[in-house]
Structure 1
Amino acid sequence: MKIVRTKEGISYFWPFVLVTSLFFLWGFAHSILDVLNKHFQEVLVISKAKSALIQAVVYGGYFLMALPAGYIIKRYGYRKGVVLGLLLYAIGAFLFIPGSRLMSFEFFLFSLFIIGCGLTCLETAANPYITVLGDLKYGASRLNLAQSFNGLGWILGPLVGGMALFSTNADVSIPYIIIGSVVLLVAFFFMRIRLPEIKEEEPSADAAVLNKGLWQHAHFLWGVVALFCYVAAQTGINSFFINYVTESDLQVNNATAAMLLSFGGMGLFMLGRFLGSWLMNLVRAEKLLFYFAVGASVCMVIVIGNWGWLSVGGLFICYLFESIMFPTLFALSIVRLGHHTKRASSFLIMAIVGGAVAPVLMGLIGENNMAIGFIVPLICFLVIGIYAMAYKRMTRFS
């Protein structure tokens, strides 16, 4: 595969395969939250805004843990960063066992915060590692391909969560016991292997460019803003997908809505990443990002209109358009940063805190009419479109 080869012909196929397996694990962890959100609203009798604290603590973990994770990776390497992330992930998952006995919302939030810290380590290590694991010009395409398997985790999360949590004898710990056990096995495996440490390419031989501070690179600075907006939009849409569908006049129950989210929304999300990885061999990444941002914005207008199945269809199609945004924004933001790459990754992962903000805001706005709450992701997609349109100008002197 040419996308995992360097200019010198060195192949990183197997390291690529191993690290790509991690993308599935955090996709599952995030997507099951969307089912958990609705489950806690009913079982613990809490409001939409309060249930959105589930996402807030997970993504808050990203904000607090990103810089420490970046320091650990810079000092000890990518592999140890991955192992630490997997162990924290497993600990948080197994805390759901006592949590299911206590049925304390606060204890569940603590468990999810630990999982969030673990996911931060995984993403801080894996995203930039995949980006530099071959020729720089294929960075966005390579990351989109790896993120396609993240999409598989997003499909299985609502499926497993819906089956476990919307049944008559629901036990919230069951899906977390399963994934915690899998994560421990993967952690053991990564302890036994060696990953090659890749030296990031310097952006230019121009000393003036090499001496630039990280925040002086406009494409990185605004990339952080755009990534914040993307995660805000994605998390907000996922969090209230089930609410939106069940509150429509379509007579859809929770279990059916979870299945629609799994195979409909997340299925298109995964398809979009495979499609995006292929299209980036034909279209420049920033151009494709712009087209997809426009498409997602149109979908959100249709969703806000609340026109029955037409709007639900718009909600589904939005998953196709948003699919490439995270890996593409991440890859574009760290282009030609050279020795700043690992530190830049930490700040980009911190931007994932957008996922802590949007669900709470959407819950407050949409408490009585969920459709209105989708104005938040609409604004976010417009910001991403502006970034994509201005990207070439921002990188001209980087």
Structure 2
Amino acid sequence: MTQNSKSQQFAFAMVIMLFFMWGFVHNLDPVLIPHLKRSFSLSTVQASLVDSAVFIAYFVMAFPAGILMKKYGYKAGILCGLTLFAIGSYLFIPAANTQLYIFFLIALFIIACGLTILETAANPYATLLGDPEKATQRLNMAQSFNGLAATLAPIIGAKIIMAEGYSDAELQLMSESARNAALAAEASTVKLPYFVLGTIIVIIGIIFAFIKLPEIKEETADKPASLTDILKIKHLRGAVITQFFYVGAQVCVLSFFILFAVEVLDMSNKEAAAYAGYGVGFAFMVGRFIGTYLMKFIDPAKLLAIYALINIVLSLFVMFGSGISLIYAIIAIAFFMSIMFPTIFSLGIKNLGPNVKYGSSLIIMSIVGGAILPIAFGYISDLFSNIQYSYVVPLICFIIVFLYGSSGHKIAENKY
């Protein structure tokens, strides 16, 4: 094994750590949404602003992140992202102390700004650390650890954040001041997990500051294209649109799972959180590993189309089915969603040459779908007083993913 190969393997291992950490904080949101919904007596639409605060940051920060890395490299982007990640995590402490919902949203927005920079750096960096022909498999492998975080975060988060409190009936019997004090005490349980998370991120940042990462140079003699020209690239433009809808679907399915289980099946928050971790999160993780393996035999785009088609059928079942089978259908949706983000991403930046960092930024910007589509999901739920009907939103999204996997990913003759 050459020294360069060892260096790339070590760098890939460090990047995997980043995938796990941002996956962990993202998958605390399904716990955070019902927790804050109860603490602040929010509607489903208002609670969905947790996701909006997170994913709007992707739209705001993605292109500046691409410019940052184009000028200073991947390592600088990673360090900047980790710094914002830590700051936002620590802000949960004053947010809990002030008991202002808007403060929680600001803290989440700052965390997400850091995550945007990390994802803009780490996703293309992972594809470049090795054989170009295995870029999609490599990115799916790194994203598998994001799936591991999706398994652990709801379980750990529920144990720490969802502390046993007063029942709704008991709260109704209290005076307003006593009820507010009780809800404030419940809301404050977020302080410890986010303080620990921020401290871990600081430690990881220190490690990254002192290690030497290989700065990958995209091998091309061409100059980067203008933004207008980049947007003319068919398979990239398709990836941007598709990722917008896919992330919207993922957020709707994962973030509202606990609310779905509580409202439709009358589960307790903690029981629903257990299903979220051991069921949805585990399926998401296993799906990534199995999907990565299947890509040795099945073209990634074809696998993407097959998985999207299966999820279209499953979404219809969730809309109109009943009983515990609905939970298992959502777990299956998580399994088949697992490969979608990294596969769309790697297909979108394929053959971009000097434009890969800007192309990466555009795809990361499209994650703003996670801010917009959950509001539609919440609105439909509130409108019909039935969260099942809201699955029409993921249904439409998976149709768009199917179209990209079946034909939209094909590379046209591009001239920069």
Change beyond 3 A, Cα 1:11–1:172 = closer
Does 1:326 find its partner at 2:325?
no
User: What is residue 404 of structure 2 aligned with on the other side?
Assistant: 387
Paired letter, 1:30: H
Which residue among 208, 219, 231 is the counterpart of 2:235? Answer: 219
- CA-to-partner distance for each residue in 1:235-276, whole Å, 9 max, x for gaps? 01112111111112x341111101100110010000000111
Instruction: Give the deviation of 1:396 after TM superposition.
Output: 4.3
User: What is residue 12 of structure 2 aligned with on the other side?
Assistant: 16
User: What is residue 196 of structure 2 aligned with on the other side?
Assistant: 178
Which residue among 74, 79, 84 is the counterpart of 1:83? Answer: 79
Instruction: Give the deviation of 1:10 after TM superposition.
Output: 8.0
Does 1:188 find its partner at 2:189?
no
User: What is residue 247 of structure 1 aligned with on the other side?
Assistant: 263
User: What is residue 329 of structure 2 aligned with on the other side?
Assistant: 314
Which residue among 25, 46, 51 is the counterpart of 1:55? Answer: 51
Alignment of structure 1 residues 329-344 onto 2, 5 Å: 329-344=344-359
User: What is residue 299 of structure 2 aligned with on the other side?
Assistant: 284
Larger radius of gyration: 2
Which residue among 133, 139, 143 is the counterpart of 1:143? Answer: 139
Instruction: Give the deviation of 1:142 after TM superposition.
Output: 0.3
Paired letter, 2:209: M
Q: Report if aligned partners of 1:66, 1:349 keep a CA contact under 8 Å in 2.
A: yes
Change beyond 3 A, Cα 1:29–1:358 = same
Which residue among 360, 363, 369 is the counterpart of 1:348? Answer: 363
Equivalent position SS for 2:204: helix
User: What is residue 215 of structure 2 aligned with on the other side?
Assistant: 197
Instruction: Measure the CA separation in 1 of the matches of 2:288 and 2:406.
Output: 21
User: What is residue 376 of structure 1 aligned with on the other side?
Assistant: 393
Q: Report if aligned partners of 1:289, 1:324 keep a CA contact under 8 Å in 2.
A: yes
Instruction: Measure the CA separation in 1 of the matches of 2:109 and 2:6.
Output: 39
Q: Report if aligned partners of 2:238, 2:408 keep a CA contact under 8 Å in 1.
A: no
Change beyond 3 A, Cα 1:341–1:183 = same
Instruction: Measure the CA separation in 1 of the matches of 2:215 and 2:91.
Output: 33
Instruction: Give the deviation of 1:358 after TM superposition.
Output: 1.4
CA root-mean-square deviation: 2.1
Which residue among 103, 106, 110 is the counterpart of 1:107? Answer: 103
Instruction: Give the deviation of 1:9 after TM superposition.
Output: 7.2
Does 1:37 find its partner at 2:54?
no
How many residues matched?
Answer: 389
Paired letter, 1:174: L
- CA-to-partner distance for each residue in 1:46-77, whole Å, 9 max, x for gaps? 10000100110110111101111111111111
TM-score (norm 1): 0.94
Paired letter, 2:348: S
Instruction: Measure the CA separation in 2 of the matches of 1:239 and 1:210.
Output: 37
Q: Which runs of 5+ in 2 are unaligned?
A: 166-185
Q: Report if aligned partners of 2:74, 2:215 keep a CA contact under 8 Å in 1.
A: yes
Q: Report if aligned partners of 2:225, 2:355 keep a CA contact under 8 Å in 1.
A: no
Paired letter, 2:379: L
Does 1:66 find its partner at 2:62?
yes
Which residue among 18, 21, 28 is the counterpart of 2:24? Answer: 28
Paired letter, 1:258: A
Instruction: Give the deviation of 1:297 after TM superposition.
Output: 1.1
Which residue among 226, 237, 246 is the counterpart of 2:253? Answer: 237
Which of structure 1's runs of 4+ aligned residues deviate more than 3 A?
A: 8-11, 209-212
| Percent of paired sites with the same residue | 40
Does 1:267 find its partner at 2:282?
yes
Equivalent position SS for 1:308: coil
Equivalent position SS for 1:12: helix
Q: Report if aligned partners of 1:55, 1:356 keep a CA contact under 8 Å in 2.
A: yes
Paired letter, 1:180: G
Instruction: Give the deviation of 1:165 after TM superposition.
Output: 2.1
Q: Report if aligned partners of 1:160, 1:175 keep a CA contact under 8 Å in 2.
A: no
Instruction: Measure the CA separation in 1 of the matches of 2:93 and 2:345.
Output: 35
Which residue among 359, 380, 383 is the counterpart of 1:365? Answer: 380
Change beyond 3 A, Cα 1:11–1:118 = closer
User: What is residue 129 of structure 2 aligned with on the other side?
Assistant: 133
Instruction: Measure the CA separation in 1 of the matches of 2:235 and 2:314.
Output: 27
- CA-to-partner distance for each residue in 1:293-316, whole Å, 9 max, x for gaps? 111111111111131122221111
Equivalent position SS for 1:257: helix
Q: Which runs of 5+ in 1 are unaligned?
A: none
Q: Report if aligned partners of 1:96, 1:111 keep a CA contact under 8 Å in 2.
A: yes
Q: Report if aligned partners of 1:140, 1:331 keep a CA contact under 8 Å in 2.
A: yes
- CA-to-partner distance for each residue in 1:6-44, whole Å, 9 max, x for gaps? xx9787211111111100010011110111111111111
Instruction: Measure the CA separation in 2 of the matches of 1:305 and 1:166.
Output: 30
Q: Report if aligned partners of 1:305, 1:311 keep a CA contact under 8 Å in 2.
A: no
Change beyond 3 A, Cα 1:11–1:81 = closer
Instruction: Measure the CA separation in 1 of the matches of 2:61 and 2:134.
Output: 29
